[in-house]
Amino acid sequence: MSRDTIVSWKTFALFLLFPPLVILAIIFFPLTLIVLFWLYYRGKEDAMVEEHTESSG
């Protein structure tokens, strides 16, 4: 059975979509890590402040 095209439209779509997804992953992965570390340290600081106010009160 012969085919009309060299590659299927699904392969072509993946080829077109892959570079933007890689760019988004490169941008969002470090951003996600930064947000997670920021939330961790903010929570840790809040817990320390809360612990200090309970012990002094």
Around 34, how many Cα atoms within 13 Å sit in the side-chain half-sphere?
A: 5
Q: Which pLDDT score, from 0 to 100, does residue 34 have?
A: 97
Around 26, how many Cα atoms within 13 Å sit in the side-chain half-sphere?
A: 6
Q: Which pLDDT score, from 0 to 100, does residue 5 have?
A: 73
pLDDT in tens, 4-40: 777 788 888 888 888 888 888 999 999 999 999 999 9
